[in-house]
Structure 1
Amino acid sequence: MTLAQQRRRLAAAMEQRGLWPARAPWIRQAAEELPRHLFAPERLWYWDGHAYVPADRGSEPDRWAALVYPGPDDATITQISSGVPGSSLSCEAVVADMLDSLLLEPGHRVLELGTGSGRNAALAARRAGPGNVTTIEADEELAATARQTLEAAGIDVTAVCGDGAAGRPDGAPYDRVIATYAVDQVPWAWIAQTRPGGRIVLPWGRLGHVALTVAEDSRSASGWMQGLAQFMPARGIAAGRRWQQVRGNGLSTRERPFTRDLSPLATNVHLQFALRVALPEVQITTGADQDGMNAWLHDGDSSWAAISALGGGKSVADEGGPRRLADELEDAWDRWQAAGEPDLYDFAMTVEPHQQYVWCQTPENPWWNTDTPNRLQVGTNPTSS
């Protein structure tokens, strides 16, 4: 398919699934005026089952076009660093959802953290107006390329290279702040540089995105989870250890029957999010085979568990290390069920200068705070954990 055909296919999928925000029609118009391919480099990357390999526009135009315009929930990988994605054109559905959550109005002064290709900043500028968007990128090469792309598109955005965690105090206070990379803890600078009543939208913990409103006294910010958003972490955050690395060559030290149906662990995003909050340092992956659903857990340190389907609805849990991760999984799952199986939209976050916490339904029901590290990821197989 040609570039134009791929573009029409993605637009049709967004329309069919109702992914363009009804309350913010400007987002769809801006996305049509600033199409993805204008911000895509000549070389893109895709996973061939073993590694990320390049696809160049000049030699593989059809593949390149398909990568620029994938499905609504798929990102376009624009940079590979040390064998893993370093930057991307975010999936169209999440771009639209996060901009909708920002509640952006004309004249708002916007700070974006994570320029990447520059497209998200360009879309925001279409709404906020010329000169009202500042975007920060840690990678000097990406920042320079985005600046050139924005200028070529006639978009008046201030694009600078710097540390996104520090924000940009020279331009504060901002009406809106948006991050395009995931954080486990929200930098206080983002709160401090946003005006009272201002809004901050960010991917939290690589699984959901949250919209925070700064309190009138500027001493805190709180807000609800808005939806799913799987973004890359801040630059400099090392990739976590894999399940095989944590297990090593050690044999199972504990084995027991596991009677719970694992299917919801792979399909229920609300359960996934609740487990992500309740077990912040545990990584969980799932995969199905002819015997049923399997799961692999590890804490990034020395404890691991493998829950293996045996067929006939039976499973067995093998574990190693000091923690009993299969038990912890069931305890957290039970807590979610006892709470009435809350949606991810029932969770919210509060950020204060010296602490931040995620709570469910009311602030008096905290599920996570900064006393505990935050690294849980939900995947589809043990080699990608």
Structure 2
Amino acid sequence: MGRLSDLQTALYRAMEEQGLWPADSPWVRHVAETYPRDQFAPPRLWRWTGQDYEAVDRAVDPEGWGRLLYAGPYESTVTQVTDGLPTSSLSCESVVADMLDSLLLQPGHATLELGAATGRNARLLAAQAGPDRVVSVEYDPQLAATATANVEATGGGVEIRVGDGDLGAPAGGPYDRVISTYAVETVPWAWVEQTCPGGRIVSPWGRLGHVALRVAADGQSARGWIQGLAMFMPSRGRAVTLSWEQVCEGHPVAAEAPCALDLVLLHENANVLFGLRVIRPDLQVRTAATEHGRVAWVHDGRFSWARIEQNGQGAAVAQQGGPRRLADELTSGWREWQEAGAPEVYDFGLTRTPEAQYVWAHHSETGPRWGHRELTTTNGLAA
């Protein structure tokens, strides 16, 4: 336990030295240190080898297990792998702290969490909101059972239900605060309906950032700013897109040509990547530094892909396959982002109404907008 304690201390020190404990919410650090990650971690964790996930068992490799759990402020810990893909995790400590800070949670607030996972986040919420003030919904019955056991072992006072988080938990509402631990493309209207006017919703959006929304006084809209960068798993039970490798395998190279993208900037500047995520939301982009320069992989999760490489100071070159030319689409999105004033992450916000959702920059009413679309309804209720 001494070694695990050293790893805990190192993580907390790194959080402090990097200014990651929220100054406006001192309770966050207190509860995070009171209920450390190892109290909620399963005996088997998962490590990415570069090709697949391998199991790391506490009983076999306690030091490796501990290092995965306390790898650093920006490192999440995979706690479940299904069919070769990660399906649950302990979020990285910096993002846990940032999202709890964004929630503006006060004692007595009725709180709804979507995605119980290991139960740690529910425990942290309950430590601030108070006993019997937190309801957590988990899609996976096995995870829900584990979360319940973990919460009970650390004090109880949280109700964990099995269900679809996108539907919320209407029987326990309305809620003062709603927080999701999985990423959504569209904020479910059920969350807005179940939040009190003036209440707050915090959720990862688009698997790249997280947003904090305030519900309007009439309950007919929710609006707020992007709070920071974060990568979260999508909701369980939703369609899973293909990987870049899978898309590429089914569609050979159809075009190769120079590309106007600056891959150094794309790789090193998170504001550019986030802006492209807003403007070209169906494109998935990842980048890497290589011995000779930079490379980017782009795909739409279905039929089309691009691989863009830039060596040294020379022009980038794109190979593309499938019916779409994604490098060209990414380049036009880049120009659109520049024409909008090159907004940074914190310049973006999101608005949700019963009928639509859109992302805006600089100002919710007068700034440029993207993704404005009518949302389908079922039985008269917005999806």
Pick the TM interval, shorter chain: over 0.9
Q: Deviations over 1:87-123 (max 9, x none)?
A: 1111100000000000000110000000011110111
Aligned to 2:360: 359
- Superposition deviation, residue 360 in structure 1: 1.0
Q: 2:45·2:55 contact (CA, 8 Å) conserved in 1?
A: yes
From the superposition, tell whether residues 52 and 248 of structure 1 become closer, same or farther in structure 2 (CA, over 3 Å). Answer: closer
Aligned to 2:378: none
Q: Note if 1:202 corresponds to 2:203.
A: yes
- Superposition deviation, residue 39 in structure 1: 0.7
After the TM superposition, which parts of structure 1 deviate over 6 Å for at least 4 consecutive aligned residues?
Answer: none
Counterpart amino acid of 1:192? E
For residues 152 and 124 of structure 2, what CA distance do their matches in structure 1 show?
Answer: 14
RMSD: 1.6
Q: Note if 1:226 corresponds to 2:227.
A: yes
Aligned to 2:36: 35
Partner secondary structure for residue 118 of structure 2: coil
Stretch of structure 1 that moved more, 303-312 or 50-59: 303-312
Q: Deviations over 1:322-348 (max 9, x none)?
A: 322222211111122222221111111
For residues 175 and 273 of structure 1, what CA distance do their matches in structure 2 show?
Answer: 29
Q: Deviations over 1:66-88 (max 9, x none)?
A: 12211001111111111111111
Aligned to 1:18: 19
Relative contact order (alpha carbons < 8 A, sep ≥ 6): 1 or 2 greater? 1
Stretch of structure 1 that moved more, 359-368 or 277-286: 359-368
Q: 1:310·1:316 contact (CA, 8 Å) conserved in 2?
A: no
From the superposition, tell whether residues 248 and 367 of structure 1 become closer, same or farther in structure 2 (CA, over 3 Å). Answer: same
For residues 206 and 108 of structure 2, what CA distance do their matches in structure 1 show?
Answer: 31
Aligned to 1:161: 162
Q: Deviations over 1:260-315 (max 9, x none)?
A: 42111111111111100111111112223233112222222332222223555233
Aligned to 1:241: 242
Aligned to 2:90: 89
Q: Note if 1:211 corresponds to 2:212.
A: yes
Identity fraction in percent: 53
From the superposition, tell whether residues 321 and 4 of structure 1 become closer, same or farther in structure 2 (CA, over 3 Å). Answer: same
Provide TM-score, normalisation by structure 2: 0.93
- Superposition deviation, residue 53 in structure 1: 1.2
Q: Deviations over 1:17-52 (max 9, x none)?
A: 010000000010111111111111111111122221
Stretch of structure 1 that moved more, 331-340 or 362-371: 362-371
From the superposition, tell whether residues 260 and 281 of structure 1 become closer, same or farther in structure 2 (CA, over 3 Å). Answer: closer
Stretch of structure 1 that moved more, 350-359 or 324-333: 324-333
- Superposition deviation, residue 245 in structure 1: 2.6
Q: 2:251·2:322 contact (CA, 8 Å) conserved in 1?
A: no
Aligned to 2:371: 368
From the superposition, tell whether residues 190 and 228 of structure 1 become closer, same or farther in structure 2 (CA, over 3 Å). Answer: same
Q: 1:292·1:313 contact (CA, 8 Å) conserved in 2?
A: no
Partner secondary structure for residue 54 of structure 1: strand
Aligned to 1:378: none
For residues 105 and 234 of structure 1, what CA distance do their matches in structure 2 show?
Answer: 27
Aligned to 1:130: 131
For residues 175 and 258 of structure 1, what CA distance do their matches in structure 2 show?
Answer: 49
For residues 247 and 270 of structure 1, what CA distance do their matches in structure 2 show?
Answer: 27
Partner secondary structure for residue 248 of structure 1: helix
- Superposition deviation, residue 371 in structure 1: 6.0
For residues 301 and 66 of structure 2, what CA distance do their matches in structure 1 show?
Answer: 38
Counterpart amino acid of 1:91? C
Counterpart amino acid of 2:114? L
Q: Deviations over 1:193-237 (max 9, x none)?
A: 000000000000100000000011111101000001111110012
For residues 48 and 6 of structure 2, what CA distance do their matches in structure 1 show?
Answer: 23
For residues 148 and 118 of structure 1, what CA distance do their matches in structure 2 show?
Answer: 8
- Superposition deviation, residue 139 in structure 1: 0.8
For residues 53 and 131 of structure 2, what CA distance do their matches in structure 1 show?
Answer: 37
Equivalent pairs counted in the alignment come to 372
For residues 78 and 134 of structure 1, what CA distance do their matches in structure 2 show?
Answer: 22
Partner secondary structure for residue 98 of structure 1: helix
Partner secondary structure for residue 203 of structure 1: strand
For residues 361 and 370 of structure 1, what CA distance do their matches in structure 2 show?
Answer: 20
Aligned to 1:349: 350
Please show how residues 1-385 of structure 1 align to structure 2 within 5 Å. Answer: 2-248=3-249, 250-311=251-312, 313-363=314-364, 364=366, 365-370=368-373
Counterpart amino acid of 1:136? V
Partner secondary structure for residue 254 of structure 1: strand
- Superposition deviation, residue 249 in structure 1: 5.8
Provide TM-score, normalisation by structure 1: 0.93
